[in-house]
Amino acid sequence: MHNLGHTRSAYRSDHMLQTPDTFVRTPLPGMRGCAAIIHASPAIGAAFTQYTAELEHGGTLGLTSAQRFVYVLSGAADLSTDTSFQSLTAGSYAYIPADLPHTLTAQGIARLAVIEKTYQQLEGVAAPSMFTGKEADAQSSELMGDPDLQVRGLLPDQPGFDFAVNTMTYQPGASLSMVEIHIMEHGLLMLEGGGIYRLGDAWYPVTAGDFIWMAPFCPQWFGALGKHPAKYLIYKDWNRHPLG
């Protein structure tokens, strides 16, 4: 049935809500048995690229000269380099530094959240090495003393990293304690549950599967609704001076 032009998706100069009914799939160079839903890129003014990769059995991502972060949404994928081999299952993730030759190959049907960013070297600080982890093993901490709002940092809090990726989980009724306005840019993928997001002067209902881009200094606030926790995966640029 046609939706007669209706969608929750919205695009403004300082934010975007992209809902699954508006997703368009496209292959990227080097992909095989794979399609990408591109959520954010320099085309909208973002300093990073984020996409969901949908892979068939044996499907692979293409190469990139940028650093890459991969979070397995469903299924499993094998990560191989010249010196290592690891299988990543749902909830696992990997950080792959810039210019490291590697392959990511799906064991079956799989979905990956992929973030790519040109690395910004910090003088006197070594660039990070590749590593993998599982979200369930990352330490969970309260945000601003609220036990109903838990944050898991998926990348080490070290100056070599120029971005951070966290998961944030809200119990029903939990919310951010303030409207945030800051220099950090965000890419946010809703993983579970839903709620209400304020972006700029607009208020949006959001649910699992939605993607949000927030430009620097975009007013932002979220509150969880429903009977189940709300959870999202969120990117932010980090550890670098605004002047570069």
* pLDDT tens series, the chain, 244 aa: 578 899 999 999 999 999 999 999 999 999 999 999 999 999 999 999 999 999 999 999 999 999 999 999 999 999 999 999 999 999 999 999 999 999 999 999 999 999 999 999 999 999 999 999 999 999 999 999 999 999 999 999 999 999 999 999 999 999 999 999 999 999 999 999 999 999 999 999 999 999 999 999 999 999 999 999 999 999 999 999 999 8
Residue 202 has a pLDDT of: 98
Assigned token pair, 70: 């991969």
Residue 1 has a pLDDT of: 59
Could you tell me where the DSSP H helices lie in the chain? none
With CA atoms as reference, report the closest residue to 78 among 106, 119, 113.
106
143, exposed or middle or buried, with CB in 10 Å at 0-12, 13-18, 19+? middle
Tokens 């200094």 locate to 217
Assigned token pair, 180: 């945030």
Residue 244 has a pLDDT of: 82
The alpha carbon of 137 is separated from its chain's Cα centroid by a whole number of angstroms, namely 18
Q: What share of the chain is helix, strand, coil (3-state, %, to 5)?
A: 5, 50, 45
Residue 132 has a pLDDT of: 97
Per DSSP, 175 falls in state B
Terminal-residue alpha carbon distance, the chain: 49
pLDDT tens figures, 21-36: 999 999 999 999 999 9
Tokens 């809902």 locate to 19
CA distances from 235 to 48, 49, 73, 136, 214 (A): 10, 11, 15, 18, 10
Residue 3 has a pLDDT of: 81
